[in-house]
Structure 1
């Protein structure tokens, strides 16, 4: 015999709730898909396809790293460093860089938020607390090293709390020009649910923080436009060109040496 639920029974209410949640899910998925499907603004381009395909070299990195070691000098001026990962990446992707900076004698800390899934007012507040805790614990300004989207978080933290930040080092971070001058903005729209140029926080991407700010960038970057991550005078204090891929900023010996030089130059 077929069992039916009274419209006010717990079973019927549960079914109605599940149907509502499913409908809401599909509606939100459709909205995000529409965002991701928007046309790129006329005249705005990301890196060329050959550079984008070059990012696949990341899969060979574990093999290249076997037996690879490069000399690192111990510093006389250890810094406290917070590493901020790129979009959709976990802090573990920056572990190799952290290990090399620690070999030099620096104190390296994670950002404490797990995967970087885009900015919200809540995760900015959590980062502000993390920054304040590190500043108080070690009694010195913290150097923020941000990879890709992590660099935008770093710049915003320094803008809000310049007294707690000793320096900002961005690596392939799209802080200049159009936020869609990259090959990841569609994925960003799909994951975050908001347009890349309209984050749910008060932020001016190109405004230079009131602390020393250095932009590491690469003409071989296959994700972010070189012009966006290099910036213009007034948007950063200095820029340094490297020869790594976008994903390579996290493990390239050249990028690691560049960060170490910037830590020594404070």
Structure 2
């Protein structure tokens, strides 16, 4: 890939607009889920938050998953500050446990940085997973085509180009994958969250700010509709 072909980080004006949706994360515990068709069928759903956020950021998503028949859980590992091998190992064990206890494979959903965890786990414990869903996650292309890499490197002892695991995040895990992306994302270049041909089984475009993709009821409804569509194709 030449320099001219590399996607650029989203422009500053888009990043500024992100802050209008950021307060939704803070008030998530106060928001109620919308009801809808039962699509979960009792499947466990593990939701991994993004950089510098924790389970509070995914409360509305998990409440909506529960209202739609899933058995959702947060990652329970505090604030997500970066790729951490110890946390990956704990998540591997937890996914295996959820599968064993429920008798159903796990739906793994990762938002932003959480989606990179999800892609790696998709390779490490595919036998326990029903599908891997990434929401605005930079799994493809240039790791610097975003407005968060400097924060990431300030918080970690490795660069974005040298994470502490051998898996290639752009390589599709051997389970069904959905990549949710936004053409107006103010944090990550859309090309990196959509992926190239063959890097995801399904893509879903939801044109909302990065911080709204996991906290907007409309965006969550579209995500769940896509999961139901994928389920129907596999039935």
**Hey, what does 2:10 align to over in structure 1?**
47
Q: Deviations over 1:106-161 (max 9, x none)?
A: 11011221111111221111111111111111111100010001011111111111
RMSD (Å), alpha carbons: 2.2
For the 8 Å contact 1:169–1:259, the answer to whether it is kept is no
**Hey, what does 2:223 align to over in structure 1?**
259
- State the alpha-carbon separation in 1 of the partners of residues 201 and 55 from structure 2: 27
**Hey, what does 2:201 align to over in structure 1?**
237
Alignment CA distance shift 1:201-1:100 (3 Å): same
1:218 aligns with 2:182: yes
Alignment CA distance shift 1:87-1:64 (3 Å): closer
For the 8 Å contact 2:40–2:68, the answer to whether it is kept is no
Q: Deviations over 1:171-223 (max 9, x none)?
A: 00001110110000000000012110101121212100000001000011100
- State the alpha-carbon separation in 1 of the partners of residues 191 and 147 from structure 2: 14
**Hey, what does 1:57 align to over in structure 2?**
20
**Hey, what does 1:136 align to over in structure 2?**
100
TM-score, reference length from structure 2 = 0.89
- State the alpha-carbon separation in 2 of the partners of residues 50 and 163 from structure 1: 43
**Hey, what does 1:37 align to over in structure 2?**
none
- State the alpha-carbon separation in 1 of the partners of residues 40 and 86 from structure 2: 37
1:170 aligns with 2:134: yes
What SS does the corresponding residue of 1:157 show, helix, strand or coil? helix
Larger radius of gyration: 1
- State the alpha-carbon separation in 2 of the partners of residues 67 and 159 from structure 1: 34
Number of matched pairs: 226
What SS does the corresponding residue of 1:93 show, helix, strand or coil? helix
What SS does the corresponding residue of 2:213 show, helix, strand or coil? helix
For the 8 Å contact 2:82–2:156, the answer to whether it is kept is yes
- State the alpha-carbon separation in 2 of the partners of residues 67 and 160 from structure 1: 34
Alignment CA distance shift 1:261-1:44 (3 Å): closer
**Hey, what does 2:162 align to over in structure 1?**
198
Alignment CA distance shift 1:44-1:59 (3 Å): closer
TM-score, reference length from structure 1 = 0.79
Gaps of 5+ in 2: none
1:113 aligns with 2:113: no
Moved more, 57-66 or 194-203: 57-66
**1:54-93 → structure 2 map (5 Å cutoff):** 54-59=17-22, 61=24, 70-75=34-39, 77-93=41-57
What SS does the corresponding residue of 1:250 show, helix, strand or coil? coil
Q: CA deviation at 1:48?
A: 1.0
